[in-house]
């Protein structure tokens, strides 16, 4: 049977993600892949996972294996609410929804907020899988220019900008650029959101992975500084995850937001997967509440920060002139800008024959551009492989220039 005429119209708007396809390449022996955003698997706290799973299955097997509430396990929501609270502004369980990774949170936001024709403001470039999640809703993306301090606030008030439904930002160590939104701009962004009534979606997968400098306030926290902001009010939909701090295989993320938003997101999630794995939620809870997470983070930061430095040194040593990159203060990614004459997608084919992979930057640009940019993950390979991979990349570039 010919299935094509049976598919829905929105299915034509679904695009295959380059990153996910490249994950398959990353598995091929001989390829050093800087493509996927993989945390360092050899530093997963495996023993702690075993102890936590054992504890969960001993102490509460009937809860951890049974159906649960759509919103998530109460104790985990409480733990997240407490961490999101400030002395003058407590957050409650009702402000938290547990999601199947923060990718599901992005999908939920699309499902609950976005109608065909809606405009979504995004950093340019931005996280690819936010674009792929929201594109089938029939939305238009309005890309906002960035510099080394994050999105340019002046961009928000462009006369030609149509009224937007949402603004999406990754303020800390952005994917794909590694750029961090400056503190002053964060305040301006929240003020703009209040003035215009356009909600902010703050995606924070990497916030805990800071290797230098001081942590900056979340948009969520700044939002609560204003008058009359309570658990019912507020402008910010904040997304978090255990994927980068404990393990992606858990698929446990969360949303912190005003209650009316959490209520609608929960309603949408109910028919999407009933709830996130109770087993995974309880294992995450055990690790978080027991202090394992807090003890694990310094080690993880040391490893990932060290790998960033190795990659920065290797780039400095091997890259030909005309190639530039940034020094991210945290996270998992570096962004390279090649000479205008080089197309990164074409380069990728050559790079694979040299045994190295990356993600071309073009797909992260919502409305095109960035043909000469590429994203490198620095956390998923050992120091030695990072050095070798950058040598291979440099050799590929030397041929291409």
Site for a copy of itself in 296-315 (CB under 8 A): none
The answer to the question of residue 234 lying near a copy of itself (CB under 8 A) is yes
Work out how close the CB of 74 gets to a copy of itself at its nearest, in angstroms, rounded to a whole number: 10
The answer to the question of residue 230 lying near a copy of itself (CB under 8 A) is no
Q: Which one, 110 or 207, has the nearer CB to a copy of itself? A: 110
Pick one of 270, 324, 346, 353: the residue that binds a copy of itself (CB under 8 A). 270
Site for a copy of itself in 9-48 (CB under 8 A): 9-11, 14-17, 20, 23-24, 36, 38-39, 41-42, 44, 46
Question: Which residues share a beta bridge with 150?
Answer: 147
Q: Which one, 38 or 400, has the nearer CB to a copy of itself? A: 38
In terms of DSSP bridges, do strands 200-203 and 140-147 run parallel, antiparallel, or are they unpaired?
A: unpaired
Q: Which one, 49 or 206, has the nearer CB to a copy of itself? A: 49
The DSSP-derived string for 171-221 is: -SS-TTT-----HHHHHHHHHHHHHH---EEEE-SSTT-B-SSPPPPPHHH
| Among the listed residues 123, 221, 220, 106, the one whose alpha carbon sits nearest the alpha carbon of residue 180 | 123
Query: In the numeric block, which tokens belong to residue 122?
Result: 């995004």
Pick one of 107, 202, 203, 221: the residue that binds a copy of itself (CB under 8 A). 107
Pick one of 184, 260, 320, 368: the residue that binds a copy of itself (CB under 8 A). 260
Work out how close the CB of 338 gets to a copy of itself at its nearest, in angstroms, rounded to a whole number: 27
The answer to the question of residue 279 lying near a copy of itself (CB under 8 A) is yes
Q: Which one, 7 or 399, has the nearer CB to a copy of itself? A: 7
Q: Which one, 41 or 401, has the nearer CB to a copy of itself? A: 41
Pick one of 31, 81, 91, 114: the residue that binds a copy of itself (CB under 8 A). 114
The number of residues that bind a copy of itself (CB under 8 A) is 85
Cβ atoms 25, 380 nearer than 8 A: no
The answer to the question of residue 210 lying near a copy of itself (CB under 8 A) is no
Site for a copy of itself in 159-188 (CB under 8 A): 165
| Among the listed residues 193, 217, 186, the one whose alpha carbon sits nearest the alpha carbon of residue 121 | 193
The torsion angle over the Cα atoms of residues 385, 386, 387 and 389, rounded to 10 degrees, is 80
Site for a copy of itself in 87-106 (CB under 8 A): 100-101, 103-104, 106
Cβ atoms 210, 301 nearer than 8 A: yes
What is the SS3 string spanning 211-251? CCCCCCCCHHHHHCCCCCCCCCCCCEEEEEECCCCCCHHHC
DSSP 8-state code for residue 329: S
* Part in contact with a copy of itself (CB under 8 A); list of ranges 211-219, 241-249, 298-306, 346-354: 241-249
DSSP 3-state of 337: strand
């Amino acid at each position: 049977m010919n299935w094509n005429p049976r598919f829905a119209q929105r299915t034509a708007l679904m695009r295959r993600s380059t990153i996910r396809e490249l994950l398959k390449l990353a598995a091929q022996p001989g390829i050093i892949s800087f493509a996927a955003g993989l945390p360092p698997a050899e530093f997963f706290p495996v023993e702690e996972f075993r102890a936590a799973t054992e504890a969960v299955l001993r102490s509460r097997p009937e809860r951890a294996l049974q159906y649960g509430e759509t919103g998530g396990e109460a104790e985990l929501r409480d733990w997240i609410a407490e961490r999101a609270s400030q002395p003058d502004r407590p957050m409650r369980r009702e402000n938290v929804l547990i999601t199947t990774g923060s990718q599901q949170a992005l999908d939920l936001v699309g499902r609950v907020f976005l109608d065909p024709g809606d405009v979504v403001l995004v950093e340019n470039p931005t996280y690819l899988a936010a674009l792929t999640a929201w594109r089938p809703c029939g939305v238009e993306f309005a890309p906002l220019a960035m510099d080394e301090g994050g999105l340019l606030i002046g961009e928000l008030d462009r006369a030609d900008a149509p009224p937007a439904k949402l603004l999406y930002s990754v303020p800390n160590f952005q994917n794909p650029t590694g750029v961090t939104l400056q503190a002053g701009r964060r305040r301006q962004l929240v003020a703009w959101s209040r003035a215009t009534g356009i909600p902010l979606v703050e995606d924070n997968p990497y916030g805990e992975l800071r290797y230098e400098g001081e942590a900056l306030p979340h948009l969520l926290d700044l939002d609560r500084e204003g008058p009359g902001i309570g658990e019912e009010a507020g402008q910010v939909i904040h997304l978090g995850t255990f994927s980068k701090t404990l393990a992606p295989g858990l698929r446990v993320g969360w949303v912190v937001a005003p209650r009316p938003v959490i209520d609608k997101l929960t309603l949408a999630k109910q028919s999407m997967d009933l709830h996130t794995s109770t087993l995974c939620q309880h294992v995450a809870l055990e690790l978080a509440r027991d202090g394992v997470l807090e003890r694990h983070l310094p080690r993880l930061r040391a490893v990932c920060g060290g790998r960033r430095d190795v990659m920065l040194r290797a780039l400095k040593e091997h890259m030909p002139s005309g190639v530039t990159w940034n020094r991210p203060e945290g996270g998992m990614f570096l962004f390279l800008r090649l000479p205008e004459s080089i197309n990164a997608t074409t380069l990728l084919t050559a790079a694979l024959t040299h045994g190295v992979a990356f993600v071309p930057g073009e797909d992260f640009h919502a409305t095109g551009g960035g043909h000469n940019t590429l994203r490198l993950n620095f956390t998923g390979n050992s120091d030695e492989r990072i050095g070798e991979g950058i040598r291979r990349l440099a050799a590929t570039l030397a041929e291409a220039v």
